[in-house]
Amino acid sequence: MKMGARSVIVFFIVHVITSVVVSQISDLRYTEAVYKMAAPWRLTAHDGLLRRGARFYSGPTPRYGPSEMTAIPFRRLRRTQAPAQGQTQDKLRRRLQTNNDNLGDAIQFLRDFDREAAEMCNRVASSEWKYATNSTEFNKRRMREQQSLASKFECLSWRRAATFDSSTIVDSGIRRQLGRIVQPGRCGLGEDKYAELVHVISLMKDNYNNAKVCPYHGPHATAIGTDSYKSSNYVTGYTAYCDLKLEPDVAQIMESSRVEQELRYYWSAWREKTGPPVKNTFMRYLDLANQAAERHGFSDAGEQMRSVYDDSDFFFTVNDLWTRVQPLYKQLVTFVRKGLVRQYGEHVVRSDGPLPAHLLGNIWAQNWRNILDIARPGPPETPDVSGELVRQGYTPLKMFQTAEEFFTSIGLPPMAPEFWRNSMLQKANEMFGHCTASAWDFCNKVDFRIKQCTQVNLEDFVNAHHEMTHVQYYMQYTNQPFLYREGPNPAFHEALANAVSLSVGGPNHLQKLGLLNTPVSVLNGNTMVNIEYLLNVALDKLPFMAFSLALEKWRWYVFEKGPIGMNARWWELRLRYQGIIPPVARGFEHFDAGAKYHVISDQDYIKYFVATVLQFQVFSELCQASHHVGPLHTCDFYRSREAGRILGDVMQQGASLTSTQLMKLLTRGKTSRLSVEPLLDFFRPLEAWLELQNRGEPIIGWSSKMEDIALFQPFVDRNGRSSAGKFTLNTLISILTLVYVYFIF
């Protein structure tokens, strides 16, 4: 009896202790089981390759819901060995069982591809333009049809290009063009899995585009346009009124509201609608993207995405660049935090801590320019340029005509008649889709357009120049083969457009146009006009660098390591690089990275980090060419023919040169690498001013405490202790009771 009772007691003690341990890993087990179901790991050797004509997924929507995960056994994930990089095309040829080393065939193939790709691009661009400017269901269907045909064409071209033996083709230009068809993309998956990948990305994009939230109904709610009824207590509980979309409703509220509870509500509501519904679908996307990358010779999809930057050490390059910028960024964070403490109080923003993500004027906290009024210590010093534009009779058309005159003043060509006839420079009607400004290349060498819901203000005035820079780029490289009609890497287009914006948006250029009446002698000194301009640029550029680096580091991580704990990792990186924390607790069930369109739509984002660094290099070189004297931020290369010649030479190359070769051309042989020195030089007056303003602050940067980490780590409470499977007083009492019973027996 005693031995039997003893066995029972020992069993219960072991059971209690085991329960504590098991509960600590329960979340991880569930997440791993979900991933196992949603994204079956590579257990088979190879998948079938594309047959002639891709067949796209037409079956029922796949279900990747938690209800299907309950019977999935818990097993350790295992990845297959990735093929060695550098053997991609040889491997593809072997699998395709063909080998073509005929130079004449390769040349003819590229000629046919150039013609057919341009025609396909024109049809896709035309259908997308129709939907963007007239968002009907009919136009949406036509657009989807053309996009599907383009995907088929892309994969068929990939299959044909992969048959050529590049190692025997002596012409480097032919070899490089074949490589540009083969290396990127996802077509190596095979017909069925490629169709599934397209489908899961489409599911995630549709969820994002259709996401709507209910209005906030607390005190001091922001009126939404003319529909102030949406903010009333009466209608909030009715789903019929839950129709607030990101653009323009939620975005405008996050930019303008100063009610902390309202900002917190919309921050959370948007993430609830966009992240959790596609979390499991995203896991399947991870697996398919990795399979495609391995078939192209990469270890994972993150490595494949990095390969377009022509730098084998790109991962470490971006780290080094950020290390140089980080001291300036920490000064900016410290200064902004003082303003947030003034506005909201220390019970909301800790005076030495990271910044709450919902208070920074943007739904993703990726730029902070909308809280300039909170950050600066006093009233604005810069005259109202937007008001001056209105007073001088500027219209959207006149703003773009002024932009055209900027380019002709530096020797670049004017816009073609087709541009003025076909562009949509202001919102025409309610069917005008999203108002995000964009430049369009219709791939026929004559038709280039801009779509922008232009309003008469300084921001849209600068945007007009920015978008027209993209059009100038399109015009300059029209004589290149189709494969070279883009920048050498994804960052170049944006970098050149932003370099022009730095010149146009500066006080000196506005003064030349008569939009700023401040004397030149004042503009060239370190006055508050300059400081406020630099602060505004810094609030726009520096947080964006930190955000894009954190986002892409997170994506590279989940491609390499898998999705377990991916939401906690997201906030770890946001805290490390950007110094921000979520306003409410986040758990394993959340998927906050899914609230960003580029993540769920399979779009590169590190290009914005690179473009921010590169734009200051381009700006510095163009300023030197224009013989600028003085601080870099006061430069304006308006009317400089030499600056225009360099800009035109760079644009004309398109992607025919690598990014390192183009950097050599841009810098006139001085360097082929990215450098943050021009960026630091641009902001040097601001950095000195921030150091003075931040004297006496408890810390430069931010201090991370356990209460911050507990917001996104499910196993840490606000005191730094484990909160999952915690060994509580009740557990101890239970064990002692069992031991007491044991000794009685």
Q: Which pLDDT belongs to residue 713?
A: 79
Q: Which two tokens stand for residue 437?
A: 């400004």
Residue 235 in this model has a pLDDT that exceeds 90: no
The CA distance from 431 to 244, in Å, is 17
Residue 291 in this model has a pLDDT that exceeds 80: yes
Neighbours of 742 (CB within 10 A): 16
Residue 626 in this model has a pLDDT that exceeds 50: yes
The CA distance from 622 to 500, in Å, is 10
Q: Which pLDDT belongs to residue 727?
A: 46
Q: Which of 262, 467, 552, 621 is catalytic?
A: 467
Pairing state of beta strands 438-441 and 448-451? antiparallel
Poorest-pLDDT segment among 12-26, 83-97, 277-291, 559-573: 83-97
The CA distance from 721 to 401, in Å, is 62
- 7-20 pLDDT tens trace: 555 555 555 555 54
- 515-549 pLDDT tens trace: 988 776 666 666 888 999 999 999 999 999 999 99
Q: Is 68 a catalytic residue?
A: no
- Percent of the chain having pLDDT more than 70? 77
User: Which residue type, as a one-letter code, is found at position 279?
Assistant: K
Instruction: Measure the CA angle with vertex 213, ends 209 and 218; round to 5°.
Output: 155
Q: pLDDT averaged over the chain?
A: 83
Residue 17 or 507, more confident: 507
Instruction: Measure the CA angle with vertex 489, ends 488 and 492; round to 5°.
Output: 85
To the question of whether residue 241 is assigned a binding role by annotation, the answer is: no
Phi and psi of 451, rounded to 5°?
-115, 120
Helix (H) or strand (E) holding 243: none
Q: Which pLDDT belongs to residue 4?
A: 58
| Alpha carbon 588 to chain centroid, angstroms | 22
Q: Which two tokens stand for residue 120?
A: 């396909």
Residue 22 or 328, more confident: 328
Bridge partner residues of 441 (DSSP): 448
Residue 561, judged by CB atoms within 10 A of its CB (0-12, 13-18, 19+), counts as: middle
The CA distance from 123 to 136, in Å, is 18
To the question of whether residue 466 is assigned a binding role by annotation, the answer is: yes
pLDDT confidence of 430, banded at 50, 70, 90? Answer: low
Q: Which pLDDT belongs to residue 563?
A: 94
Residue 40 in this model has a pLDDT that exceeds 90: no
Residue 729 in this model has a pLDDT that exceeds 90: no
- 701-721 pLDDT tens trace: 999 888 888 888 765 444 444
Q: Which of 217, 598, 642, 687 is catalytic?
A: 598
The pLDDT of 230-252, averaged and rounded, is 65
To the question of whether residue 347 is assigned a binding role by annotation, the answer is: no
Q: Which pLDDT belongs to residue 226?
A: 40
Residue 80 in this model has a pLDDT that exceeds 60: no
The CA distance from 637 to 628, in Å, is 8
Q: Write the DSSP symbol of residue 190.
A: -
Residue 236 in this model has a pLDDT that exceeds 90: no
Residue 557 or 383, more confident: 557
Poorest-pLDDT segment among 256-265, 380-389, 452-461, 563-572: 380-389
Residue 74 in this model has a pLDDT that exceeds 70: no
Q: Which two tokens stand for residue 745?
A: 């027996």
- 540-595 pLDDT tens trace: 999 999 999 999 999 999 999 999 999 999 999 999 999 999 999 999 999 999 99
Any idea which residue has 């088929």 for tokens? 152
Q: Which pLDDT belongs to residue 52?
A: 27
The CA distance from 312 to 18, in Å, is 47
User: Which residue type, as a one-letter code, is found at position 127?
Assistant: S
Return the SS3 of 449.
strand
Residue 611 in this model has a pLDDT that exceeds 90: yes
- 648-684 pLDDT tens trace: 999 999 999 999 999 999 999 999 999 999 999 999 9
- Give the DSSP per-residue string, 657-700: S-HHHHHHHHTTTS-SS--SHHHHHHTHHHHHHHHHHTTT-S-S
Q: Is 691 a catalytic residue?
A: no
Q: Which pLDDT belongs to residue 491?
A: 96
Max intra-chain CA distance, the chain: 102
- 173-208 pLDDT tens trace: 899 999 899 876 788 888 899 999 999 999 999 999
Instruction: Say if residues 529 and 523 touch (Cβ distance below 8 Å).
Output: yes
Residue 368 or 100, more confident: 368
Q: Which two tokens stand for residue 621?
A: 């070189």
Residue 365 in this model has a pLDDT that exceeds 50: yes
Residue 725 in this model has a pLDDT that exceeds 60: no
HSE-up of residue 360 (Cα within 13 Å, Cβ side): 28
Phi and psi of 46, rounded to 5°?
-145, 160
3-state DSSP percent of the chain in helix, strand and coil, to 5: 60, 0, 35
Q: Which two tokens stand for residue 326?
A: 């980080």
The pLDDT of 398-420, averaged and rounded, is 98
Q: Which pLDDT belongs to residue 529?
A: 86
Phi and psi of 366, rounded to 5°?
-85, -25
Q: Write the DSSP symbol of residue 416.
A: P
Phi and psi of 387, rounded to 5°?
-65, -35
Residue 495 in this model has a pLDDT that exceeds 60: yes
pLDDT confidence of 5, banded at 50, 70, 90? Answer: low
To the question of whether residue 633 is assigned a binding role by annotation, the answer is: no
Phi and psi of 440, rounded to 5°?
-125, 135
Residue 485, judged by CB atoms within 10 A of its CB (0-12, 13-18, 19+), counts as: buried
Q: Which pLDDT belongs to residue 436?
A: 83
Q: Which pLDDT belongs to residue 593?
A: 97
User: Which residue type, as a one-letter code, is found at position 525?
Assistant: G
Instruction: Measure the CA angle with vertex 620, ends 618 and 625; round to 5°.
Output: 95
pLDDT confidence of 428, banded at 50, 70, 90? Answer: confident
Q: Comparing C-alpha atoms, which of 363, 427, 63, 370 is closest to residue 213?
A: 363
pLDDT confidence of 735, banded at 50, 70, 90? Answer: low
The pLDDT of 124-143, averaged and rounded, is 94
Q: Which pLDDT belongs to residue 248?
A: 82
The alpha helices in 82-185, defined as continuous H runs, are 88-96, 103-133, 137-161, 172-182
